[in-house]
Amino acid sequence: MKIIGLIITIITGAFLVYAAIDFPAWSDPNSPASTYLSPYFIENSMKDTSVPNYVTSLLADYRGFDTMFETTVIFTAGLVCFILLRISGGKEPETSHYRHVLTGVTVTLKKGHKIPESEDFERIDDLWTPPDLIIKTSCRLMIPFIQLFGLYVIAHGHSSPGGGFQGGVILGASIILLAISHDLRTALEKMREKVVAILCPIGVSIYAGTGTLCLLLGVNFLDYSALASVLHVDPIAARSHGIFMVEIGVGIAVMTTMIWIYNNISSAGKYNQGL
Amino acid sequence: METITSIKPLLAVLVSLLVTPMLVSSRNPNVREGWTFVAAIIKLAIVASMVPAILQGTEIVYTVAEVFPGVAIKFKVDAFGMLFALVSSSLWIVTTIYSIGYMRGLNEHSQTRYFCFFAIALSATVGVAFSANLFTLYLFYEMLSFATYPLVAHHQDREARSSGRKYLLYIVGASIGLVLPAMMICYNLTGTLEFSKQGIFTGTEPNATMLVLLLMLVLGFAKAGIMPFHSWLPAAMVAPTPVSALLHAVAVVKVGAFSVLRVLTGVFGIDLLARLNLGTVICYIAAFTVITASLIALSQDGLKRRLAFSTIGQLSYIVLGVALLSPKGMIGGMTHIAMHAFGKITLFFCAGAIFVATGKKNISEMVGIGRRMPITMVAFFIGSLSVIGLPPTGGFFSKWYLVQGTIQADQWPMLVVLLSSSLLNAAYFFPIVYKAFFCTPEEAMFENRIEEAPIWCVVPLVVTAAGSIALFFYPTLFLKLAELATR
Amino acid sequence: MSQQYPAILVIVPLLSAFAISIAGWVNKRLCFPIIVTALSVVVYASIGLLLTVLEKGVVIYHLGGWPPPVGIAYYVDHLNGLVLVVVASVALLNVIAAKKSIEQEFPDKAAPFYTLYILMVTGLLGIVVTGDAFNLYVLLEIAALTGYGLLAMGEERAQLSSLNYLYMGTIGACFYLLGVGYLYIVTGSLNMMDIARLLPPLYQSKAVLAAFIICMVGVWLKMAFFPLHSWLPNAYTHATSAASSLIAPLVTKVMVYVMIRLILTIFTPEFAFATMALNNVVVWLAVIAIVMGAILALAERNLKKMLTFIIVAEVGYMVGGAWLGNRAGMTGAILHIVNDALMTLCVFLVVGNIVYKVKGYAFEDLQGLFRKMPFTMGAFVVGAMSIIGVPPTCGFFSKWYLILGALQAGHYGFVAALIFSSLVSVVLFFRIFEICYYEPFSDHHGHDHPPEPMDEAPLLMVVPLLIVAVILILVGLYTGDIVNHIIKFAIPEGLV
Amino acid sequence: MSELIPTIIAKYNYWIYITLMMIGLYAMIAKNNLVKKIVGMNIFQTAIILYYVSIGVKKGATIPISTGGHGAAHEAVHAADYLNPLPHVLMLTAIVVGVATLGVALALCLRIYSRYNTLEEDEILAQIRKK
């Protein structure tokens, strides 16, 4: 297999090298890619959509349709991980561990036994490490700022690098950080599985719904200029707002998918304990 | 030639196909067989209603759908097709009666399936008869192949399985492997597949490809049993006897012969064959089959197997007659379809009746059977006369025309073949009859007590035997149709 | 409304996917009605779209209101109009037929399954309808990701097979993406029509050649064209029946569509067939694909796996037909997309029914099925006849065009391969029929056989199956109309 | 020779991407461990991303965000001043797809691991064959 792999690799590589001879040199401003379409986007983005970040206007408006499916890809990935891994019905683990908060004594219970509800005991993972005060505290401090920054990135995608994807990932990371620094159960308390699973399609639906709204208002799908009549602004500003609505949807979808995938993969679908 | 457009041919084809849901859904066997009867009679009525028009020299045409440029699923009723349709649809009625007797007599399983596929097979047969082009013919030919498979394999045991395999291998293998590509090449060369007197190759220069195409088409229709594609036929004799009777003496094999004849007259055209001298090639192949099959038949002990080899030989008569390319020969070949059908079906019915009544399958076990089943054995005698070609049976006429055809075509070797084969036919049939009636009491294997098969079995074989004789006295209809077809 | 059909075609299933996903957490019983409604709308829209195309010619839809090449455009002509109808109807029929087995196999995960299902349909429809080379890639990935998920939810080996599919599929999609990148670097455009307009002066460029080959290899990987087929049999075999009866009929066929679209629209036949002398090589590869597919199928003792090898052979039909480089061959390939989708659906639905009742699909499990499940087996016979190529089932007619194209191109190897594969199919299917028909053998010659009770699959599974079987015959009878009114216009006039 | 070296240097981005891509491809074909294959797959995808992004580069241009901010709607914009934004947009999609594929692949690996207790392909196949 290795030799076959090597031969295939070398042949493919040689073929690609052969083809690359005809390519324009690197950073050539006169290459077709730089002269044919891209000037239109650069020169008209502000006029058409009043979004200074050309990547954003291109992403969410000119090629907004691609991006909608991109978001759908994310949603799909989350769903596939869920459907593959989630063990529903939650088989009870063989043993569960509880820790007496005051004394630090760990109690191991066999299947079927339960500990009476009380403030003194907390459930812990199989591989339990003593809580690190520094990590827990600093994470708890950082998470709000991370989330704030995520929101900023989403909101500011119009005029600086950023947007729904980046912001969504940051927001998702904040929850994942919580799961890592504390444990999965804590994170799940903050954001339950059902919430994640419902928010995710809702996020994508916001995107697709915005497009459908345009369609219902009598123009083509995703033609945000139609929103002008709803938002009472001029069509160009409407496009800008439309892009923003869409970015919010993307942000929600990406955030929840990140959490969803993490939850499923880290607990192998059992949702009882994470990494 | 005048043509009329009418939906009748399509109806004639569909009537037995449409009756299958009724057959499946009827719980009561009497109701089921009633439906079969109704369909058979309607079918014969439709076919017969077209006869006057055909006799006046018109053709009835109906196009179902054009599937390729220049090729449609299209029906055309001409004299030759009518001849064949008439034979098969009239014999269906008789066979239905016989089937009821046979299947109930033996208490066979899966009778509903049997009657269904029987009906489908009949649809396909009439479809072949009324095809206007090679494509439609191929369509129904394949339909027939697959519809008869469950009939051949009716017993669902190991023997049936191996026979069914052989049957499919030969029939479907040849049609997909030879006919389909040949048909495609024809279409690619000429852009049409429509049967016509001049053939489809009018615009193309004759070349060696044609010989190959001819051989592919003639041998590819393996149902005609031309050697070396014949050995499915004896194998298929494991089927219940009515199946062997109608399908393997009448419908299936005749469909093969009919298709070969269509290829010779409709696709290539007599003129082209004569010009390229291709008829002789076919003649010799057919002649070889005639003699070889008759010789093999002599050595068979199983009655149905002997009949099967006889059929192989007789089929090649039909092909031989047309391949002579002389008008008389063609009339002989075409009428032989009808004459042989009546004769052979009688023989099969007799074989089945013997099996129902006594359980015997081998000729060596039938010594003295004439005393037990006199009616059956008389019918057998008449049937064998017809197949041999002796008066007073219809078979005489077809043989007569065939012989005249060889003289007309100056094919003396073929005359020798025909005559010697008739002798061989006599040699393998007469001993059976002789032993059945004229044996010493010591040899007789049966008590001297008349015990015929059930009435449902006996009536049909009497009817067909009578038909054979009637055709001697009133052969006009078939002769007229054959004459029209050769004109 | 009718001018919005192209958008509806994709949006309705997409939105309903989210609705189903949410409904799964709220009220599970809503999922099935939603998916059936959505797919019915899709079927309606696709038929409406096809009729519009037939009446008025090509339909172009600007997404976001941006005219191409700035924005993404949907481009519906006779070719994809036809394929859209097929994809939509296959998806609808299959979901109805699969309901029972989905409920049986994953009682608690039906909602995500339906969601993935309809997302996959969305992806496939999007691939077919789009006129943008990059948009096609995105949708390709949606169809692929959902496919991995659906296929992985099967028996024990399904995950490994699906992972292998994921590797191969990702390479395939990446190759396609790279090919689009090559086109982009030489033309600066992503719109298919625009690329086609810009390409002719560049036909001599090595980059265009490379783009073409890379795209082709990518697409071949995705459609399991020999020798890149190794992932397909296992992936399809071990999946659940509901998933495999969606994926097997559609994915390879849609990829063949993509290949034809690349040849006909983006690169134009002049380039694909004239500038490069690749035809012959590819057709010979197709010949090997057909022969190998047939032989490998012969070696199987397992119904579902046997069918997957037949798919490999069928892919060979279509690729070979398309690469014959003439009108008849291309007609055959396009027609075979339609026919093969339908007949594969038919046989896989049969497998679904058998699995539902018998819980197995090895040859030994099939004994006595003709008596037990007569309707299912009746449909199976029709499907098998179609795969063998017996008129009047539709499989014969596409085979006819393929053979005709091969004859016109003088490629007798391909003719021989087609005939060979038909003959092998006869053996393949009659071997199964024999098992279903004869076995278990009884000792007393079948007489007085105590009839086994009929044990047919539920009506909801049988009716769609019978509809498919009827469609197989109807499509065959109406081949003339399909070719004359639709496919004729799908092929550029330059191709003779 | 004197022409060859400048050509090679002028197009070095392509050589890098091809090298990376081939590393990925080789890993996918030749590696036995399923996760290593996934790593190879990611390298493979990243190489394509690199290729696309490198198309977007223009000499003397800056990132494709209007320097004028929101108020600059009516100022003339020179396309030569900004990088080509299209490849970036496309690659955002490709990255997302890559992440999604990775997630699915890992999920599959997890399932496989929990069943066979190994991720070496030959060991898994041996286990399957044993059954």
| Amino acid identity at B68 | F
CA distance D64 to D60: 12
Give the SS3 label for residue A110: strand
Closest chain D C-alpha to A50 CA, distance in angstroms: 7
Q: What single string gives the DSSP state of each residue in D6-74? A: HHHHHTHHHHHHHHHHHHHHHHHHH--BHHHHHHHHHHHHHHHHHHHHHHT--TT-B-SB-TTGGGGGG
Residues of B in contact with C441 (CB under 8 A): 156-158
Q: Give A115 or B260, the one with higher predicted confidence.
A: B260
The answer to whether residue D74 is domain-embedded is: no
CA distance C289 to C297: 12
Give A267's DSSP letter: T
Name the residue among A21, A69, A221 with its Cβ closest to that of C138: A69
Question: What are the two backbone dihedrals, phi and then psi, of residue A236, each rounded to the nearest 5 degrees?
Answer: -70, -45
Q: What single string gives the DSSP state of each residue in B191-253? A: S--B--TT-S-TTSPP-HHHHHHHHHHHHH-GGG--TTS-THHHHGGGS-HHHHHHIIIIIHH
| Amino acid identity at A137 | T
- Buried-exposed string C59-72: b where 16+ CB fall within 10 A, e elsewhere: bebbbbbbebbbbb
Range with the largest mean pLDDT of C148-162, D62-76, D95-109: D95-109
Quick one: pLDDT at residue D56? Answer: 85
Quick one: pLDDT at residue B391? Answer: 80
Quick one: pLDDT at residue A91? Answer: 58
Residue C65 to residue A79, Cβ atoms within 8 A: no
Quick one: pLDDT at residue C449? Answer: 52
C154 touches chain D (CB under 8 A): no
Residues of A in contact with D79 (CB under 8 A): 38-39, 42-43
Please count the structural domains in chain C.
1
Suggest the residue from C326, C382, C407 to mutate for an interface test with chain B (most B CBs closer than 10 A).
C407
Quick one: pLDDT at residue D38? Answer: 93
Any idea which residue has 């982009």 for tokens? C184
Quick one: pLDDT at residue C284? Answer: 92
Closest chain C C-alpha to A98 CA, distance in angstroms: 30
Compute how many other C-beta atoms are within 10 angstroms of the C-beta atom of residue B3: 12
Any idea which residue has 């394949």 for tokens? B142
Closest chain B C-alpha to C366 CA, distance in angstroms: 15
For residue range C285-323, list pLDDT tens digits in order. 999 999 999 999 999 888 999 999 999 999 999 999 999
C210 touches chain D (CB under 8 A): no
Suggest the residue from B66, B67, B212 to mutate for an interface test with chain C (most C CBs closer than 10 A).
B67
Question: What CA–CA distances, in Å, run from B395 to B288, B382, B390, B472?
Answer: 21, 10, 7, 8
Give the SS3 label for residue B441: coil
Q: The whole model's pTM is what?
A: 0.92
Suggest the residue from A8, A37, A74, A243 to mutate for an interface test with chain C (most C CBs closer than 10 A).
A37
D50 touches chain A (CB under 8 A): no
The subunits that touch chain A, with at least 3 C-beta pairs less than 8 Å apart, are: C, D
Quick one: pLDDT at residue A86? Answer: 85
Stretch B90-97: mean pLDDT = 84
Q: Which residue of A has its CA nearest to C135?
A: A66
Q: Which residues contact A183 (CB under 8 A, 6 or more apart)?
A: A124, A125, A273, A274
Closest chain C C-alpha to D48 CA, distance in angstroms: 7
Q: Do chains D and B touch (3 or more CB pairs under 8 A)?
A: no
CA distance A119 to A115: 11
Q: Which residue of A has its CA nearest to C63?
A: A221
Residues of A in contact with C185 (CB under 8 A): 23-24, 31-33
Stretch B170-180: mean pLDDT = 89
Q: Do chains A and C touch (3 or more CB pairs under 8 A)?
A: yes
A147 touches chain C (CB under 8 A): no
The answer to whether residue D70 is domain-embedded is: no
D8 touches chain A (CB under 8 A): no
Question: What CA–CA distances, in Å, run from C282 to B426, C288, C291, C404?
Answer: 61, 10, 14, 18
Among candidate residues C341, C343, C111, C153, the one with its CA nearest the CA of residue C241: C153
D115 touches chain A (CB under 8 A): no
Neighbouring C-alpha atoms within 13 Å toward the C-beta of D46: 13
- Buried-exposed string B129-146: b where 16+ CB fall within 10 A, e elsewhere: bbbbbbbbbbbbbbbbbb
- Note which residues in 156-175 of chain B have CB less than 8 A from chain C: 156-158, 160-161, 164-165, 168, 172-173
Neighbouring C-alpha atoms within 13 Å toward the C-beta of D37: 25
CATH number, domain containing residue D50: 1.10.287.3510
Residue B68 to residue C419, Cβ atoms within 8 A: no
Residue A212 to residue C11, Cβ atoms within 8 A: yes
Among candidate residues B388, B285, B409, B292, the one with its CA nearest the CA of residue B346: B388
Q: Give A182 or C464, the one with higher predicted confidence.
A: C464
Residues of C in contact with B184 (CB under 8 A): 400, 403-404, 407, 415
C64 touches chain D (CB under 8 A): no
Compute how many other C-beta atoms are within 10 angstroms of the C-beta atom of residue A91: 10
Question: What CA–CA distances, in Å, run from A143 to A176, A193, A260, C34?
Answer: 10, 20, 18, 39
Please list the alpha-helical segments (H only) found in B232-326.
232-235, 241-246, 252-262, 270-276, 278-298, 303-323
Average pLDDT, chain A: 86
Look up residue C494 and give its two tokens: 């330059």
Closest chain D C-alpha to A55 CA, distance in angstroms: 5
Residues of A in contact with D26 (CB under 8 A): 5-6, 9
The subunits that touch chain D, with at least 3 C-beta pairs less than 8 Å apart, are: A, C
Residue B188 to residue C404, Cβ atoms within 8 A: yes
Please count the structural domains in chain D.
1
Instruction: Return the domain boundaries, chain A.
Output: 53-89+131-266
Residue A19 to residue C65, Cβ atoms within 8 A: no
Residue C448: pLDDT above 60?
no
Residue B184 to residue C407, Cβ atoms within 8 A: yes
Please list the alpha-helical segments (H only) found in C199-269.
206-223, 231-238, 241-261, 268-269
Name the residue among A27, A52, A74 with its Cβ closest to that of D58: A27
For residue range A19-72, list pLDDT tens digits in order. 888 888 888 888 888 888 888 888 888 888 888 888 888 888 888 899 999 999
Residues of A in contact with D88 (CB under 8 A): 55
Quick one: pLDDT at residue C85? Answer: 94
Residues of B in contact with C389 (CB under 8 A): 176
Among candidate residues A139, A159, A136, the one with its CA nearest the CA of residue A147: A139
Closest chain B C-alpha to C477 CA, distance in angstroms: 7
Are the CB atoms for B315 and B224 separated by under 8 Å?
A: yes
Stretch C364-375: mean pLDDT = 84
Per-residue confidence band for A200, with pLDDT thresholds at 50, 70 and 90 = very high
Question: What are the two backbone dihedrals, phi and then psi, of residue B362, each rounded to the nearest 5 degrees?
Answer: -100, 145
Give the SS3 label for residue C359: coil
Residues of A in contact with D29 (CB under 8 A): 1, 4-5, 8-9
Residue D71: pLDDT above 70?
no
Burial category of C374 from C-beta neighbours within 10 Å (exposed 0-12, middle 13-18, buried 19 and up): middle
**CA trace torsion B311, B316, B322, B328 (10° rounding):** -70
A16 touches chain C (CB under 8 A): yes
Among candidate residues C83, C97, C90, the one with its CA nearest the CA of residue C32: C97
Quick one: pLDDT at residue C334? Answer: 93
Q: Number of residue pairs across A and C with CB atoms under 8 Å?
A: 168
Name the residue among A17, A34, A52 with its Cβ closest to that of D58: A34
Among candidate residues A226, B83, A36, A1, the one with its CA nearest the CA of residue D125: A1
CA distance B207 to C309: 41
For residue range C85-102, list pLDDT tens digits in order. 999 999 999 999 988 888
Domain that holds residue C404: 278-496
The subunits that touch chain B, with at least 3 C-beta pairs less than 8 Å apart, are: C
Name the residue among C422, C430, C478 with its Cβ closest to that of B176: C422
Compute how many other C-beta atoms are within 10 angstroms of the C-beta atom of residue C144: 26
- Buried-exposed string B389-421: b where 16+ CB fall within 10 A, e elsewhere: bbeebbbbbbbbbbbbbbeebebeebbebbeeb
For residue range B199-247, list pLDDT tens digits in order. 787 766 777 788 888 888 888 888 888 888 888 888 888 777 777 777 6
Closest chain C C-alpha to D66 CA, distance in angstroms: 19
Residue C64 to residue A65, Cβ atoms within 8 A: yes
Q: Which residues contact C489 (CB under 8 A, 6 or more apart)?
A: C77, C78
Give Cα B90 to chain centroid, integer Å: 13
Residue C446: pLDDT above 50?
no
For residue range B435-468, list pLDDT tens digits in order. 887 777 666 666 667 777 777 778 888 888 888 8
ipTM: 0.89
Residues of D in contact with A17 (CB under 8 A): 14-15, 18
Residues of C in contact with D124 (CB under 8 A): 160
